[in-house]
Structure 1
Amino acid sequence: MTSRRPAGRLTAAVPSAVRRGVLVAAPIAALLGITGGVLVATTGSSDASDVPSRGVPEALAVKPVRTGGESVVQFMSHPDDDLFFMNPDTSQSISSGRSLTSVYLTAGESDGRNSRRQDPRPRADKAAYAEARQNGIRAAYAEMATGDRTSPWDRTAITTAGGARAELDTLRARPQISLVWLQLKEAGTVSDDRPNSLRGLWDGRTDALASQLAAGSPVRDDFAYSREQVIDTIDGVLRRFRPTFVRMLDPTPGLNDRTGRLSDHQDHMYGARFVQAGLARYAERPGRPAFGVQNYLGYSTGSLPHSLDRGTFEAKLRTLKTYAWSDHTDHCGDPAGCGDRKVAARPAGRDWAQSVRYARSGSASWVQPGARPGELYGFGVLDGRLAVWHRPDAGADWAGPVLQDGAGLDGGVVPVRLPDGRLSVYGTRTELGAAGGGYRREVAVRTQASPGGLFGPWRSLGSPEPGDAATGSDISMPAVVVDRAGRASVYVRDGRHAMSVAVQRPDGGYGSWRPAGGKDLHGDPVAAVDAAGRGYVFAATPRTVLAWTTRPRTGAASGPVATGLPATTVALSAVPDGQDGVRLWFREPVSGDARSARFVGGGRPAGPVTEVGGGRSGHGSVVAAPDGGGLALRGRPGGLSLSPAPGRPWTGGGGPLFAGAPATAPGGVAALTLDGRLTWTPWATAASH
């Protein structure tokens, strides 16, 4: 159809051109003489490749990675994935005033009919519907940033590293906010087999995926990308915007227990895998900031208890209604429409707007004591590698991060302290494979050779999932219990939403994965060991929490036991509590208030659920100090909120945004901010406010 330009609010910086059919991206690159990716100006930040693969603390003399300021890039398969599944994090990034770039892989053209189901059926026009969805996103972001949904954008076309063109929109009033539209065709179905899709391109069942240009886009010539060109394009976007933090959907959402089909949209899953591949390529490039990654659950979050308080949900819903063009007034001057009317009939989706959930990065135990008094280690993931921070004693500053060798690590790790003072770090890592197969996720561990010494190589524990074809390589972060002999039992929620366990042998190796029971488990399991050496493992279902316990000397496990606890928001944390028990922390659905229950020697609470007075609403884990002191959590504005002791007033909540969960230690609380820094707040600071 003929491109239509809305009046007034939108401008394009490239002249109109006549479409000449479908052009394959590689010939375009040759025609234009393009030999590399997007050219960008270099800014003064450390090169991640300058940091060698070394241990801690010996390697701390090496110049650590430093990022030059927070910059977030988030990747979505469709317009509205960010509004449903990443908000309120998206709106908090906008409020922070820092750089935010949202990248949409497909046009989201669906059937081309921009109407609610109950409305008269309009004529199909995929270019116009794609344009209407773009208009809705621009209105939603403008409103979040300025309060005015009609705040103007500048629309330009940029050359991609894949050899074609993409649309770049910049909010004129807030130029640090950008939208990038790659405009590939969507699958057009949640899970039905469509070879002409991101899924078919990833699996090698189609050689190229064509574009679907929006009606008013400054990109004029259709194109098609191969698998490699999509990866190159994502790599080029990353090089252009140089993120310190990347948001994306979950590449392994697993199966729906009831239907046996994918629990999320296939474009979400395979789009996220393309982003993983682009990130892996980008991570090998010098001259860029180090970056962290956060995965978000998609459709499956709607079947779990609501994680957002009413005020946050209502703000999120207002943004979705703006995107959905709910008032149906012509505020954009575009005959294609000012938003996505398909969403207008159900702007909260299928209970998606009431929650936000992270996949595999919510560990609250990523700070651990070292072998010496006051010594602390912090662990995270930057550039797909283990990042280590170190504080040699209570009076010293934190140093790091130092990146260890071994790429492909997923966001978030679980360190544990062994009886002899050494530290082991467990996590999951992804092998991407080639087109047609090979994608898999596995559990891995690396351990210090001596207390305070270097970390040995990564050791694979394999996976309870036989392969990607079974349940999509869906496994959780591990929960680890170490007995008094130093042997570890590693628990993982598998793709069938049950628990699996691998137990360390006396020779240091690990046995095969075996079923450990439970069903309908969601999120990541957590573990804690009491002063007597008894281990506890907890995992959430949509209705309650299940518990497993282990014996101090043998590691023999029993469970699962139904704890009888009420529904939680799924994010859990656990810490030792006194001489004979552990305490489980969680949030109450809808309110987001902090709650806890104490366990002594078994899988049933040793008393009633404790309500924390003056609790702060928010989402994610509630984290308690191991000495029974303060509490830390993500407050409603998105920053770190602290209470020096249960029942004491809360402080903070509006500070820097951070990744995953905070971590507590004797003397203070740590958080990893979105610019890759570890921040440390002493409990005394919280008590003084």
Structure 2
Amino acid sequence: MTNGYPENGRGSSNPRTLPQLSIATATGRGTAVTQQRENRRTRIIRSDPSLAGHFRGTPHTDIEGRSVVSGRIARRRILRVAGCGLVAGAGAAGALQWSAPGAQQSARRGRFTARPAKDAPAEAFVHIMAHADDSLYFMNPELEQCLRGGAPVVTVCMTGGESDGRNALSLSPGYAGLPERRPDFARARINGLREATAYMVTGDWLSPWHVEPLTLLPGFRVESQTLVAAPRVQLIFMELVEARALRTPRRDSLRGLWLGATRDLPTLMPTASPVGRVFRYTREQVIDSLAAVLERHRPTVVRTLDPNPTRLPRQPHYAGVPPVLQGIATYDHQDHTASAHFAQAALARYWGRGPARLTAVDSYLGYEVALLPDSLDAATTARKAAVLDVYGWVGGRNCGDPAGCGDRKVGARSKDSRWTSNLRHRAPGARSWVAPLPGGRLAAFAVLGGQAHCWTETGAGSGVWSGPVPLGGSLLEGQVEALRHADGTLGLFSVRTVLPAPGVPHRREVVTAAQTGTVSAGAPAFGPWLSLGAPEKDPSGSLEMGYPVAVTGRDGRVFVFVRNRSGGVSFRSTDGSGEWEAWRSLPPGPGRPVAVRDGLDAAVDDAGRVHVVAAGLRTVHHWRSAEPGGPPRPAGPTLLPAATGPLSLVAVPGGGMRLALREPVTSRVIVADLRPGGAGWRVTAQCAPIGGYGRVALAREGTLTVLAARDDAGLVRLSAGSGRPGPWLGGGVPHRGTAALTRDSRGRVVAVVLGMDGRLGSARVRGTGGGAVADWVTHDGGVLDDPLMS
């Protein structure tokens, strides 16, 4: 049935019928709401680097006036392109807005025109989450960028998120006396999500939705909502009962169902639900329902919450908990983790049922980000907060539904939360996933559909790729690292998840595959994937292991480094005969043990010494081997500032090292050098802010330094300079993961990205500084249009 609000702004008198959703509220309260929206128009964000420290706690303080939910934020993306400069001269204003590539503002009252669905969409997105606000907190700005990009976007909310049924902050006066109305609160959260989604797509939070029951499995119905202005945008609500507690084990919860503590889990029917009755799902039926969504929409990208959150340093004790519900307490919400596990199982089932569209999977950290440095700049944080204000019913605007128009437990708090000022993927992005082949062609590797895949250039320097060709692997996750050995062959490294089954514990392990030769057209062929295990023997500890980074020493020994459960760095290495030695840990050095974030990097200097770097909460940690082929040891304090997370490290001719990182709060790219002769680390360049987040690719070829970084619109931006980085080049293309930088057969630095459609784009850098040029070409050699100029 069609869901809309009547023009008088009141809900339907039939409690089984959703109120009408019409934006033509020309009388009564509707006029007042419309006028209020226009009176509170959000003003232009001024991004000032000098306010960076202030933004740590209050990321909204650079907005003139309130960033209210109904204001129309200008969508034109204004860029000030300035170069990377020496530290003394750094400082420039960044982008004023982030938006999807190609997003444009309608001239009429600042509204957006919803981009029509693509005729034959090359990309499609499915988001699987536990609660109605999860994607708004933990997947934005990537969520809005895909919503504005014209591709089909489906969001599945697994629980009703009913909590205690009180739609108010727990510290509000009189909170304890409020009635517990869980069906109403579940409906209010649904309303908040669809209003925030409509706001992101069209600019109008009251843009109407078509609501109907949907059958994913025989005998079961879920609530489906489709945005009328953009039918490619759909919300699906399964409405399973939530845990109603952050960590306290409960039998009737997603976690209880996943662990087998309960045979089935009921739904909680929101007020005026179209599904008609309560359903009870078994574990297999939940997995089958999610797999049905995947089969129905055939996504190229699936986004989930974090399946492997970090455990609490002190484990709480819960008396009387049955053994099946006992387990590790983490920083994240138990519903978040369980929803990610169900998503993994559904993906495995979907991939196992036969040929499927190649699918990339991205997982996002949840509550844990509150403990980490801000990874987003002020402008991006402000936009996220504005969207969350819509969800949180800030201003008490009237949507016509007596159940509520949003989630007041969120309210206006988002601007003060590090959940809002962060976006972090569980997989930090491979820093080396493109490698040269004998003969000068390039090979690229990525995880799609749970397997490693390989693309090969059809000719050296052509920029035209064949593939992708599957290389095996089972439930590989996140990323794959490619390492070139001294003999020119390649080795691949990734992480595999083993889902729980009778007699099989839930665990993760590092895996590797070695090149065995070539196949037709000279593409590399690989042997079977072999397990290298994990630093922790305890299966539950292996779930917290990071992603591998590998290097080859001058003597041919291979080192593989990962973040371990305790926050240190562990490694395995080969001996003189090529056999793998046991896991060992890098010593922490004097003082307190280090606690590093994932996204570490390693490189070998001109003398053959292995260097490892990793970001802690306050500084960057550095290990270095004393002699070629030896294990790295603490190299002393770097005295470098904190980084948002993933690092990139390359050797500099003469025995030095160069490091690229992002500065917290501003997201500015910073370059630091380790001078030969023990002079220590020194920050040598700060690049003009372009927003963005995540790992910055770094390459050094002779005197040329090249950077590739994500900007505030989700585009990869390049910088090329002699000696130090040059200005950011204009243009850029959408991508997922981390860009790769490598050298082609002619000695040119090549940037390669993987698109949301599972196809590659590449650019060869010519020139330096203001005269640098990099033209992006498609998988098949065609010219990639510049989304900023379209």
Contact 1:253 1:472 in 2 (8 A): no
Deviation at 1:650, TM superposition (A): 1.9
Contact 2:638 2:680 in 1 (8 A): no
- One of 751, 761, 765 as aligned partner of 1:683: 765
Deviation at 1:551, TM superposition (A): 4.9
Instruction: Provide the residue aligned with 1:669 in structure 2.
Output: 751
Q: 1:652 and 1:73 mapped to 2: Cα distance? A: 31
Instruction: Provide the residue aligned with 1:49 in structure 2.
Output: none
- One of 403, 427, 449 as aligned partner of 1:360: 427
- One of 591, 608, 623 as aligned partner of 2:697: 623
- One of 597, 612, 629 as aligned partner of 2:672: 597
1:542 aligns with 2:617: yes
Alignment of 1:134-533 (within 5 A): 134-161=190-217, 163-257=219-313, 261-330=329-398, 332-344=399-411, 346-348=413-415, 350-372=417-439, 374-391=440-457, 392-395=459-462, 397-434=464-501, 438-450=505-517, 453-469=524-540, 471=541, 473-518=543-588, 519-533=594-608
Q: 1:134 and 1:311 mapped to 2: Cα distance? A: 27
Deviation at 1:613, TM superposition (A): 3.8
Q: 1:75 and 1:245 mapped to 2: Cα distance? A: 11
Contact 2:428 2:695 in 1 (8 A): no
Q: 1:438 to 1:613 in 2, by over 3 A?
A: closer
Q: What SS is found at the alignment partner of 2:527?
A: coil
The residue type equivalent to 2:586 in the other structure is A
Cα deviations across residues 214-242 of structure 1 (Å, max 9, x unaligned)?
11221112111111111101100101111
Q: 1:126 to 1:457 in 2, by over 3 A?
A: same
Q: 1:640 to 1:255 in 2, by over 3 A?
A: same
Deviation at 1:555, TM superposition (A): 2.8
Paired residues, what number?
629
Cα deviations across residues 513-570 of structure 1 (Å, max 9, x unaligned)?
2222442211222111223322111111111111111256333221264321111111
Q: 2:360 and 2:635 mapped to 1: Cα distance? A: 34
The residue type equivalent to 2:766 in the other structure is A
Q: What SS is found at the alignment partner of 2:370?
A: helix
Contact 2:22 2:206 in 1 (8 A): no
Deviation at 1:165, TM superposition (A): 0.9
Q: What SS is found at the alignment partner of 1:679?
A: strand
Cα deviations across residues 331-358 of structure 1 (Å, max 9, x unaligned)?
x111110000001152247411001011
Instruction: Provide the residue aligned with 2:147 in structure 1.
Output: 94
Deviation at 1:258, TM superposition (A): 5.2
Q: 1:588 and 1:308 mapped to 2: Cα distance? A: 10
Identity of aligned residues (%): 39
Q: 1:654 to 1:600 in 2, by over 3 A?
A: closer
Q: 1:573 to 1:80 in 2, by over 3 A?
A: same
Q: 1:551 and 1:454 mapped to 2: Cα distance? A: 36
Cα deviations across residues 319-342 of structure 1 (Å, max 9, x unaligned)?
011100011121x11111000000
Q: 1:623 to 1:605 in 2, by over 3 A?
A: farther
Instruction: Provide the residue aligned with 1:77 in structure 2.
Output: 130
Contact 2:257 2:282 in 1 (8 A): yes
1:9 aligns with 2:84: no
Q: 1:170 and 1:462 mapped to 2: Cα distance? A: 45
Deviation at 1:6, TM superposition (A): 4.3
- Runs of 4+ with deviation above 6 angstroms: none
Contact 1:294 1:361 in 2 (8 A): no
Instruction: Provide the residue aligned with 1:651 in structure 2.
Output: 729
Q: 1:68 to 1:9 in 2, by over 3 A?
A: closer
Q: 1:301 and 1:678 mapped to 2: Cα distance? A: 30
Contact 2:508 2:542 in 1 (8 A): no
Structure 2 residue runs without a partner (length 5+): 1-12, 24-119, 317-328, 589-593, 775-790
Cα deviations across residues 463-495 of structure 1 (Å, max 9, x unaligned)?
1122344x4711110122321222212111112
Q: 1:296 to 1:561 in 2, by over 3 A?
A: farther
Q: 2:508 and 2:705 mapped to 1: Cα distance? A: 37
Deviation at 1:572, TM superposition (A): 1.2
Contact 1:573 1:586 in 2 (8 A): yes
Contact 1:367 1:377 in 2 (8 A): yes
Structure 1 residue runs without a partner (length 5+): 12-66
Deviation at 1:256, TM superposition (A): 2.3
Q: 1:350 to 1:496 in 2, by over 3 A?
A: farther
Q: What SS is found at the alignment partner of 2:733?
A: coil
Cα deviations across residues 428-460 of structure 1 (Å, max 9, x unaligned)?
110002268611000011111248642111111
Q: 1:576 to 1:232 in 2, by over 3 A?
A: same
Contact 1:253 1:474 in 2 (8 A): yes
Contact 2:380 2:691 in 1 (8 A): no
Per mean C-alpha deviation after superposition, the further-off stretch among 583-592 and 427-436 is: 427-436
Q: Larger Rg: 1 or 2?
A: 2
Q: What SS is found at the alignment partner of 1:329?
A: coil
- One of 624, 640, 643 as aligned partner of 1:565: 640
Q: 1:349 to 1:210 in 2, by over 3 A?
A: farther
Cα deviations across residues 36-70 of structure 1 (Å, max 9, x unaligned)?
xxxxxxxxxxxxxxxxxxxxxxxxxxxxxxx9601
Q: What SS is found at the alignment partner of 2:286?
A: helix
Q: 1:97 and 1:607 mapped to 2: Cα distance? A: 45
Cα deviations across residues 634-660 of structure 1 (Å, max 9, x unaligned)?
11111111123354332346632x111
Cα deviations across residues 145-180 of structure 1 (Å, max 9, x unaligned)?
111100011111111137411111111101111111
RMSD between aligned alpha carbons? 2.3
Cα deviations across residues 398-456 of structure 1 (Å, max 9, x unaligned)?
21111112211011111111111111111111000226861100001111124864211
Q: What SS is found at the alignment partner of 1:632?
A: strand
Q: 1:225 to 1:517 in 2, by over 3 A?
A: farther
Q: What SS is found at the alignment partner of 1:523?
A: coil
Q: 1:246 and 1:143 mapped to 2: Cα distance? A: 22
- One of 682, 688, 699 as aligned partner of 1:614: 688
Contact 2:310 2:368 in 1 (8 A): no
Q: What SS is found at the alignment partner of 1:344?
A: coil
The residue type equivalent to 1:617 in the other structure is G
Q: 1:607 to 1:347 in 2, by over 3 A?
A: closer
Contact 2:557 2:575 in 1 (8 A): yes
Deviation at 1:207, TM superposition (A): 0.7
Q: What SS is found at the alignment partner of 1:91?
A: helix
Alignment of 1:40-119 (within 5 A): 69-117=122-170, 118-119=172-173
Q: 1:351 and 1:436 mapped to 2: Cα distance? A: 40
Contact 2:650 2:657 in 1 (8 A): yes
Q: 2:627 and 2:132 mapped to 1: Cα distance? A: 51
Instruction: Provide the residue aligned with 2:174 in structure 1.
Output: 120
Contact 2:639 2:681 in 1 (8 A): no
TM-score, normalised by the number of residues in structure 1 = 0.87
Q: 1:539 to 1:222 in 2, by over 3 A?
A: same
Q: 1:299 to 1:560 in 2, by over 3 A?
A: farther
Q: 1:164 and 1:661 mapped to 2: Cα distance? A: 40
Q: 1:388 and 1:276 mapped to 2: Cα distance? A: 23
